[in-house]
Each structure stands twice: as structure tokens, then as C-alpha cells.
Amino acid sequence: MKDTLTSLLELIRAETNTPALGALVGDARGIRAQAVVGIREAGKTDQARLDDPFHIGSCTKAMTATLAARLVEQNQMRWELTVAEAFPNLKEHIHRDYQGVTLRHLLLHRSGLPEDRTPNPILFLKIRGLQGDIRQQRQQAVAWVLEQPPAAAPGTQFAYSNFGYLIAGAMLESATGRSWEQLMRDHLFKPLKMRTAGFGVPRHFAGHTGNPPKPTFYDNPPVLGPAGTVHCSLRDWAAFVRVHLQSALGIKTPFLRPESVAELHTDPHQQGYAMGWAIPQSGVLTHAGSNTLWFAVATVEPRANRFYLVATNWGHPKAQEACRMAIQKLHEL
């Protein structure tokens, strides 16, 4: 199966002119096949390798939601914790209509924050310019984001918000006294043995730039980590996604309790989105992610006992098409 997958990826890569393309198919027992083809950086010759980390962008959101669930299990967090309770020192900066927004609202994209796939440019530049301790950066960002009135009454509408996940990550930090990055290492990367996992642009593996990567320009700013800065190899990403497949199949794991899985995978508002996972149809979990120079997709299909991961070091629409083509071909293996 590996040779077949490699051949398929080579064909797709040639058709779309994608620098590197990786794919993995797995089930509840483990990895069935994986392959990575192409080059680490456009215009260079260094070949991409199986253990190279890919930037997964907003696929990080499922990890942040899972981290929240683990902290809830340990009684360090509550789904109904409000921003007013989480940030008492920022109360005077937070608009009164946001005071009752909960962690649940934020993870379901129902906080009242505006849709920000294309963020407010002035606010984004201010956030990109933050420096110093990462927890303090997120506290400042929370104040800036929540000082404006909401775009809709909190809890009433779905609006995809990266800033919402930033705030959720800051709430986890406030509750534990540790940075989101350290919490991710302790609660996800270490227990799942995700040894290649980290944050930002992989140092030795560039996006489609033709030049060495410059994380401060090419990546999401570090303060937005909870919304989308994780990188990892396909194998390590599979360790995380496989837990979600197992849990969706009712297989008990020491990583997540059934009640936590129910919270993460349920779409209570029938909006096509649960906590960190899009639900395009019943029984399917998926998410795509990009920092504009990388693109990645994860899909979990419990009814077929399969999960699929595809990633590339190019954010161009052609690369997105390459990933969609690869997902389709993976279903045929």
C-alpha cells in the first residue's frame, strides 16, 4: 500500500506543482500507510522526509479544545467558566456584553466575536507587534479583542474566530498559571509521544518561499498559538487524531473520558462545527489549516474506521486542490 500511495502522491504533486506532499491513512489500530514526496523548499533539492514536521495551521484548534477537555477532567477548568471570571484583572477592559462569554462559547465559535478569517488589519498588526512573555502577550491581546462590542449577542450565532481560540488559550493559562505551549507539551505532546511536535515554522522545512523561512512574517504570530501554530510529522499528528477516532468508536482510552469526547464531538447547535472540529455531515470530523504558506487537512470517519491526514508546504489554491485530490485517493486505497 505504501508504494501505491507514494505513486499517487507523485502524480498529484506533478499535476499541481506542489513542492512537498505528505499523506497518511490510519484506523483505530494504527497507521495503515503513509508517504511523503517532493522537496523541503521550492527551488532547492533537499528531499522531504517521512519524519519531517508539517505546519498544520488551524488544525491546532482540535488540539486546543482537547487540551481544555483534559483540564476539565482534572478539575482545573470548567466549560462554563466566563471571561470575567478568568480575567478579573481585565474586567474594566472587557466590554460588558462579553462578560458572560464562556469557554464553551469560544470553542464552539459562538462568543459573539466577528468572523475573522480575514482579521481586522489594525488589530492584527498590533497583535503581531507584541513582544515579551507569551502569557502577558495573550492577556494584552484579550483586552484589545474584547474591548469592542460584539458583532452578535454571545451564544446566538456561529462565527469562525481565531481570536476566540486565542482567548480560550489565555483562559487555560489563567486557570493553570502555565503557558498554552507548556500545557500542550505536558498534556498532549508528551503523553502521545509526539516527539516532532512544536510551534511555528519548522526550522529545516520551509513553506513555498524560495528563501529561508522567517517565522515572524510567514507564520501566525505566536500569540495566536491556540488557534493555529502547531507543527508535527504526519506520524505524530496521527497519534493525536487516532485517539479521536478510537473515542468516536466508543473505544476507551486513558487519554480522554467518554464525557469529554461527547463535549468535543457534539454539534449542539447543528452549525456544522463542534469543538475544534468541523462536521460537514453526520459522523464525520474534519478540519483544514493554513498559515498561508502551508496547508493541511485531517478527516476522521468513524463509520469506516478510518482517518486521513494530508499536508503540503504550500498555501496556494493549487496546494489545497492537491490535498483534496489526495484525500479522495486515500479513500480508494
- Provide CB contacts within 8 A for 215, sequence distance 6+: 200, 201
Strand partners, 25: 33, 308
pLDDT (tens digit, 9 = 90+) per residue, 177-219? Answer: 999 999 999 999 999 999 999 999 887 787 766 554 444 456 7
β-sheet bridge partners, residue 230: 199
Q: How many CB atoms lie within 10 A of CB 15?
A: 12
Cell digits for 284? 464525520
CA-based nearest residue to 141, from 162, 111, 155, 112: 162
CATH of residue 86's domain is 3.40.710.10
Number of domains in the chain: 1
Summarize the chain as % helix, strand, coil (round to 5).
45, 15, 40
Range(s) of the domain holding residue 327: 2-332
Tens of pLDDT, residue by residue over 282-328, are 899 999 999 888 999 999 999 999 999 999 999 889 999 999 999 99
Strands (E), 216-269: 230-232
Would you tell me how many other CB atoms lie within 10 Å of the CB of residue 317? 10
Per-residue pLDDT of the chain (333 residues; tens, 9 = 90+): 767 899 999 999 999 999 999 999 999 999 999 999 999 988 889 999 999 999 999 999 999 999 999 999 999 999 999 999 999 999 899 999 999 999 999 999 999 999 998 878 888 889 999 999 999 999 999 999 999 999 999 999 999 999 999 999 999 999 999 999 999 999 999 999 999 999 998 877 877 665 544 444 567 899 999 999 999 999 999 999 999 999 999 999 999 999 999 999 999 999 999 999 999 998 999 999 998 889 999 999 999 999 999 999 998 899 999 999 999 988 887
